[in-house]
Amino acid sequence: MNYQPDNVFQGILLKKTIFRETSLICDILTPQAGKIKILAKGVRNPKNSCYGTLQVLAELEFVTHRNKSSEWHILKTADLKQTFEADNLETTVMLQAGAELFSQMVIPELEAGNYFRLLKNYLDYSQKVSKNSIALFWRLLLRVFELNGIAPDFKHCLVCGKESSIMGGYHLIKQGFICPQCEQQALPQMIEYLSAESRILLCELPAIGNNLQNRNISQDSASQLTRVFITHLNLHFNDHFNLKSLKLLPY
Ligand SMILES: [Zn+2]
């Protein structure tokens, strides 16, 4: 037999690429098998039963078959369970940045379930907030850092090791936060100095999701902390991540 039996998956679509006249190639995160690549033949033809279903961040239940000798899954059917959208620019960008982050990330098959739940929680939560959704993206990045063993310490200085109630800047060579005292002695070129607001946000970050509606995050701080976290990510992953959607933010 050339084909393996049909596979039934649930998944979230991370990326789609146009292929030939009417087809798509899709990267989908599944809790069972990690990220898989599927060829969806003819789905850009309006008469196809899956027409319009395969959108980025669509949550799907789908069936594929696969030639034993190929890595590729061929899509047979797909049912749309849910889509995740937003009515404001910031949340829209955050959703797309989440999809880009997961599509560019290496996800070990053994941890696929953890990554799937992380993304699903992020998407579910995004539907509940209408303000400051950038902070949800920071929390998502922190969870990704934890899963990869690169979570920055927000309570202890990376240089002197002392506990500090408020952190100074981000040290680009040591790749972590340092206390205000050590910050004064470090070479300025090695530090991203944080604004007073960014420092407070950093302290509150682990629990910030509880109070998003009642606060104002300035554009300067939103921009600065996003830059620091993406820098932290790329310092550990060799500049691997390029989240283009973040460029659509007004700051
Ligand atoms: Zn220190």
Q: What is the pTM of this model?
A: 0.93
Burial of residue 216, with CB atoms counted within 10 A of its CB: 0-12 exposed, 13-18 middle, 19 or more buried: exposed
Asked if residue 84 lies in contact with residue 96, where contact means CB atoms within 8 angstroms, the answer is: no
**43 in Cβ contact with 22 (< 8 Å):** yes
Ligand 1 midpoint to CA 191 (Å): 13
Ligand 1: distance of its center to the CA of 51 in Å? 57
Query: 157 C-alpha to center of ligand 1: Å?
Result: 5
Dist. CA 177 → ligand 1 center (Å): 9
User: Percentage helix, strand, coil, to 5, in the chain?
Assistant: 40, 20, 40
52 CB-near residues (< 8 Å, 6+ apart): none
Q: What is the pLDDT of residues 139-169, one digit of tens each?
A: 999 999 999 999 999 999 999 999 999 999 9
Interval between CA 227 and ligand 1 midpoint (Å): 22
pLDDT, mean of residues 219-223:
96
The first and second tokens of residue 80, run together, are 């749309």
Residue whose structure tokens are 């982050």 = 101
Query: What CA–CA distance (Å, rounded) separates 83 from 56?
Result: 9
Q: What are phi and psi of 125, to 5 degrees?
A: -65, -35
Specify whether the CB–CB gap between 102 and 115 falls below 8 A: yes
Distances in whole angstroms, Cα of residue 28 to Cα of each of 33, 82, 156, 221: 10, 14, 38, 33
* Cα(81) to centroid(ligand 1), Å: 49
Q: List pLDDT tens digits, range 97-145.
A: 999 999 999 999 999 999 999 999 999 999 998 889 999 999 999 999 9
Split at pLDDT 50, 70, 90, the class of 251 is confident
Compute the distance between CA of residue 175 and CA of residue 171 in angstroms, rounded to an integer: 5
Q: How far apart are CA 150 and CA 82, in angstroms?
A: 32
The model's pLDDT over 32-50, given as tens digits with 9 standing for 90+, comes to: 999 999 999 999 999 999 9
**Residue appearing with tokens 């981000």:** 170
CB atoms within 10 A of CB 30: 20
Of 140 and 70, more confident: 140
Domains of the chain: 7-82 (2.40.50.140), 89-248 (1.20.1440.120)
